[in-house]
Chains A and B, each alone.
Chain A
Amino acid sequence: MTATNPGPAHSTSEAPFRLTDSETNPMCIYLVKNDSKGDKLLFRYPFHSFGGPVKVSLNDHKRSLHKDAGLEKTARPHDLTIFTDDVISSLFAVKMELCDRKFELKVNNVRFIGHPMQLQTGGNESTSGGGEGGNKKPQSPSIIMINIVFALDAFARRQISNCYYDLSKILGVALRHEEKRCAYLSSQIKDMLYIHDTMANECDLDSSTDNNKHFEKILETSSLALDLKSVFEGVVTNGLIKLKVNDWVDVSFCLPHKVHHFYRDGQYFEPESINKCLKGLRPYHGLLLMAERKVLLDNLPQDSSPSIVRLINMYNPVKSLETLSADSDLTLAQVFNIAGHLIYWGDAIVIFPLSETNMYAIAPNVPTERNNKFAKKFEKRFPGQKLLEVMSEFSFPTSLQYKMCPIEDKSSGSTTIQMLIWLLQHKMLLQYHTYVYFMPSSKGLGYYNDESEFHDYNNKHPSEAPMTTYQTLSENWLQLSSGGYSSSMSSAEEMFHSLDEDEQIALMHIPASANPDDFRLLMRLLKQGYLSGEHHLEEIMYLENIRRSELLKLLDKFKDVLVTVEMEDPIISNFYSH
């Protein structure tokens, strides 16, 4: 073994999220105009070096059958140098028929996405703007086409390219508005063209086709170019864009797959999964803000709804959505909506409210490399603590109850909680819940019908109004049991008789069946559908108003007919890598 060989193939020191980046990040942003004077690439960013480092592993080349299958060698991913500015401008200066709708052009491995827009310029009498271009003749109204285009990796998923389309459209609309208001766009275009022209004349002699210097100069003078640069940098760094076009129009945008990161290459947060998560959301779930409350409040746009501010002020990770709704005086539906909003913007994720009994363990795919960037971040936040050490303590399911040693003083407890919150915010921990299956006989799951013929697992809960269904279910039961002891006993009996013979015998063998209270409770849980592995203990406790100890005792008494499984809450699992 040599010191230079630190191990097998996994060990190449790759930054986490490398592949992810190449799919979610644009390679370049372009601004092209087309008017009566012809088409022109006004600006692109970045203009110095194209693309990021291309990931090439020798090993891959040697063994791969699929390398470049169906792809031209001439255009490796990210190779934009083949597109000269002239080609770009001729490709993006679309015909009128293609305007005002999605523009999508794929050339080899690069996909260009934009929203070409036609707008009228110069009709406005406004005196504002106007470059130093000395062109003083009065402007007559004319039609101009502009196209803000993003270059993406062709393999980028459609949801991702759609986001860039939306972004291009939003920017275009903002520009159109500003053009109408004060001819901002035409003055910007004039400035850019002026720089292109004068600089082209200057370097006529060395006949360099390199326009990079033009773009550099444009970036120094043009506010629109600066905005495009900040858009590019925004989407590349954190997926968030907060912009004021011409210091007037607010443009806020977020790439959901960027703000929610995953530790696994190639996994993305699909906006669709927010809807899925919201449908499964229950009042007992809680929120976890991804940033400090203050930071979040400061970053909210000025015109944000006061309900959001109120909710954030009342926020606490130990509160359930129901409690939050009561504390901030909002309806549950409003809280759900705000939660969806916060999730979309990557400001929050859904968790089960922090409690001492929650079991946490390390989430899959988290980075464990020595001194990785998260470890450094963690040590900065909690001096003297090592992230990997803390993670190793969570390698086996651990609850807060266990972590918070009773002998130690309160202050160390609060650090423990802070660390737990940090780990949860970084999605390094996931929570295990216990699910119960009623399996009285060797045949398997008893009482419940086969899901393949009965219902689809994913659509199990009537999605529109989950709570009302729950309530009616419980109310039905209440009505049944309100008749007093005898009627609840008789419905338990009825339940028992609906089981098949083997199942009845198995139940009869259990001593606890003789205890009417235990027997009734079990039959009630069975009837409510809680014992088919779709409801974790906390949910059963919440819905049936049972204490944990009571439930655990029952599970223990009937352990011969029940099988318990530990797993994460499927509703929340969208937030984690798998």
Chain B
Amino acid sequence: MEPLDPYDNPIKCIFVCHFHHTAGPKILCQVPKDFLSKDTFETVSVYMIPKGQLQKFIITITTRDNKILGYPIQINDQKYLRNAYYFNLCFVCDHNSHTLHYEPIVKKLSTFLLNLEIEDNFLSKSDQSEKSQEELLYLMSQVMQDLNLHKRCKLIARQSIIYLNVIEVSRNPPTPLDFDVPLLVSEIDYLDEQWDLTTRQVAPFIDGVNHVSKISKLSKLDIEVVAACIQNLVYCNAVSLVDLFRYSNMYVCTTKIGQLARNKSRYDEAISAISRPGGPKATFKDIFTVFSAMRQGSRFIDVCLRYNPVSINIDERNLVLYGLANGYIRQLRKYPVVLKEKDVDKTFMGNYYNGLNSLNIISCFTNSDVYQLDEEIERDIRIVSVWK
């Protein structure tokens, strides 16, 4: 069975192993003591102290009970008996857990040990010296304790400090386009020190209205920096990207809309998020009714004309943003395509109509009016459009 939270899996053991010039691969020290037996270590030692080519590779091997990840390092130096020294710092987790997020830490710690070893043979002499073995043991137990408890660790050894922080590793989100609008899905305290300077500068302008290039202007930052920052926030699940809010957009309900109706404890939140500021509160029934009117085939302008949101105290922009942020609605986009290849050059802006660009995107990039563009598309029989 999968653990409930794959990222909440503690480190069961940390050990350092090396290649002893006569005894072969062996464990130098481990916390907790005697976690891995000598036999267990021997069955996997080929992955801990591997052949030459695999040095400085993050290697994870799964055994019956454990998952062991390490970052083997080789130091070539005449001073060693075999002209080289091999060691590896390994984390042991449950065999069923995800360990991707520990990889950067293992790498960083290994590199740290590498420096200590180069400086004063910290590891290679641990075999003999009680003192340095104890120091190593102390460092390892501190790392394990802090990472398991706080997900971060500040390690002070000799004159240097290293910071370790467990972060989730996943694929990169797509790079935001200039006209994508970031929308906060979870609160960011942009005064908090944990955010970098750029994020703290950018965050106040993320309001679900400003698009990336506008934020870049407002925050007086380079657009690439802003885009990278927004991408980072998407990665952290703090922000999701939506299209520019326009009345010509079309939205439809998703299967989540029922949760909005049935989860009465969240009614107040929805009402306060959607009501017009400063006026009387909108009623839930009105809010839900307007959501329910968002159907394939009716643009948002049609919905607004039918219900006149002002008269029922609904802020239509917040309605859409709230719906999108919670996944109650999704946007449909119109994709115009010039059907025949040979007509592409004959059509005005024909090469934009390849079926990959939505009408909104085209209008942003060509700086043209959506309605005018739409009319032209509708008039041109060589172009068909698909809403999806």
Contact = CB atoms under 8 A, between A and B. Distances in A.
B330 to A, nearest CB: 7
Nearest to B101: A70
B46 A388 contact: no
B262 A570 contact: no
Interface string B80-101: 0000000000000000000010
A95 interface: yes
Nearest to B6: A158
Q: Tell me if A's interface is mostly helix, strand, loop or mixed.
A: loop
Contacts of A95: 42-44, 46
B22 interface: no
A5 B289 CA distance: 44
Contact of A386 (B330, B339, B351, B365): B339
A50 to B, nearest CB: 15
Contacts of B245: none
Nearest to B298: A396
B262 A1 contact: no
B351 A64 contact: no
Contact residues on B (Cβ < 8 Å of other chain), bracket: 35 or more
Contacts of B255: 567-568, 570, 573
B361 A362 contact: no
A370 B284 contact: no
Given A69-B104, A158-B2, A396 B296 contact: yes
B26 interface: no
Interface stretch (B13-21, B48-56, B149-157): B48-56
Interface in A412-464: 432, 435, 437, 439, 441-445, 448, 450-453, 457
B339 A395 contact: no
Nearest to B362: A7
B345 to A, nearest CB: 8
Contacts, number: 251
Interface stretch (A102-110, A249-257, A312-320, A520-528): A102-110
A266 B334 CA distance: 23
Interface in B218-275: 224, 227-229, 231-232, 235, 252-255, 257-259, 261-267
A241 to B, nearest CB: 25
A364 B228 contact: no
A30 to B, nearest CB: 16
Nearest to A70: B104
B310 interface: no
B175 to A, nearest CB: 5
Contacts of B362: 7
A564 interface: yes
Nearest to B170: A155
B119 to A, nearest CB: 24
A372 B384 CA distance: 15
A532 interface: yes
A272 to B, nearest CB: 10
B177 interface: yes
Contacts of A512: none
8 contacts: A82-B53, A87-B50, A107-B54, A389-B384, A395-B388, A397-B297, A443-B283, A566-B292
Interface of A: 1, 3, 5-11, 59-60, 62-67, 69-70, 72, 74-75, 82-84, 86-87, 90-91, 94-95, 97-98, 101-108, 154-155, 158, 266, 361-372, 386, 388-389, 391-392, 395-397, 432, 435, 437, 439, 441-445, 448, 450-453, 457, 532-534, 563-568, 570, 573, 578
Given A103-B62, A107-B58, A565-B253, 11 more contacts: A9-B177, A10-B357, A11-B354, A69-B104, A105-B61, A369-B356, A370-B337, A439-B289, A443-B285, A564-B292, A565-B291
